[in-house]
A and B are shown apart, each in its own frame.
Chain A
Amino acid sequence: MISKLIVVGGGKGGVGKSLVAAGLIDTSIELNRQVLLIESDTSVPDVYKAYNGIVKSMAIDLDKKEGWITLLDALNEHDGIAILNTGARNDKGVQLFSSLLMTALPQLKCQLETLWVIGRKRASLELLADYMDAIKEGVIHVIRNNHYGEGDKFQLYNESATKKRIEAAGGKTIDFPDLADRVSDAISNSNLAISKGATDLSFGDRIELSRWRSEVWKTLGDVV
């Protein structure tokens, strides 16, 4: 039976959703979870490309109602956790069809958690507010991608009413560790799963990846 659906969102291109999703999958594997990856980024399905063949993976267009129905079938049939990687433009589909998911979740006895990845720009928070209006169930955690600075640099978010709303609803503000550019570039340019990077990269890159990976396990272990 599906126990949890974790949505990795952010609504904005370039905030680091794919790396957070990869980190989440890697952490789940480390903790022996049975993972179903749903890739819904039709423009840049890079998480699917990295993890197809490593975990059970599906590519579903959530701009279409049929896609949501297929998603529900997949959740109903999976034993473990599901990780849904969204694209920068998935907000329209969420607003139109997410009611199907909201109806299904209690019947699936499935928890919903969202990791909303932010940079330091205003758009991240605008889109988060839209998401919170559309998705009333589950818990939303905000992921401050430390690639854009330490947590205290996210001033707009840190001082926002949205942060208070998130935390009042039981969500957390989580700092996602930064990975050296050359290593994240090597991972993403070759569509490598993190575990593959841990064996295939150069020695120095592997050392940095290993350091970052341990941090990610600590950071996301509680979510999984």
Chain B
Amino acid sequence: MSPGRPAAPHRGAPLPHSMQRPRLGLAALIATSLLSACGDSLDARSILRVNGSTTVNPIAAEAAEVLRDELGVEIHVDTQGGSSGGIALLGEGRIDIGMSSKPLTDEDRRRYPDARFVAHRVGEDAVALVVSADVWNGGVRSLSRESMRGIYEGRITDWSEVGGPEQRIVFFNKEPGRGTWEVFADWLYGDADDAPSVSFPEVGGNEETRNKVGGTRGAMAPLSYAWADGKEVFALALETRDGVITPTPESIGSSDYPMSRPLFLITDGDPVGDVKAFIDFVGSPLGRDIVRRHGYLPSPAVTPGE
């Protein structure tokens, strides 16, 4: 830990030549590092930044791939913080398009008074209650709202209480701020704000939810319907007054299935330039194909406002 150091030059004697050159090198190093710190901002203007919900992400990511070559502009699609994260970043002016799987609220508009949010509806999705294979194969194919409330509030703790096998219910709640959770809580309690405060293990995006539910016995979580592949996780039907409704493209499109939600691309003000091109593309027939291909329903038309 203490290697021998080369002998320091005797105080008062001139620096040997070999020690003078490193000073130039040091100056060059400092100058380069300071200059490189300025480099980033030069590129920022030609990048289109899209961020937000993991549900809308597959659509935006594929649209970005197509448009990158057509428009010749860099498009960055990311999913930081889900729907709320996208709205927050857009409100702070740090991105160009926000992705959200829940409608904008007055709270959102109030929090960012300087931003004028314009929501463009690009598709429909449903939130399904997905369970792991052992629960599905054990006979649980549907759930009522009352039973779900019982599970959420901790009153029902075993699948045998709702017609399933003897297995502890492992409910994975969605992180705060996730669009999926808001839709789920709205259905369960009429208004997400009325949902009681609970402590369950949490999951974040759709990918993590599917992985964790698929890999845990007795697991259940709210998940975007398009991600319920029927192999790792299975979507339950909902028992309502009108009967048992299975989530299918038909029942979602006709709004028979209660937990359907619109998918939005949100801009600050009316879109112009590259942003407008992106939004228009997602609403075009090619874009609607992309929406369909990822398991969602395309909206009748891309209309602003909601």
Report if A and B associate in a common complex: no
Q: Interface residues, chain B, CB within 8 Å of chain A?
A: none
Q: Interface residues, chain A, CB within 8 Å of chain B?
A: none
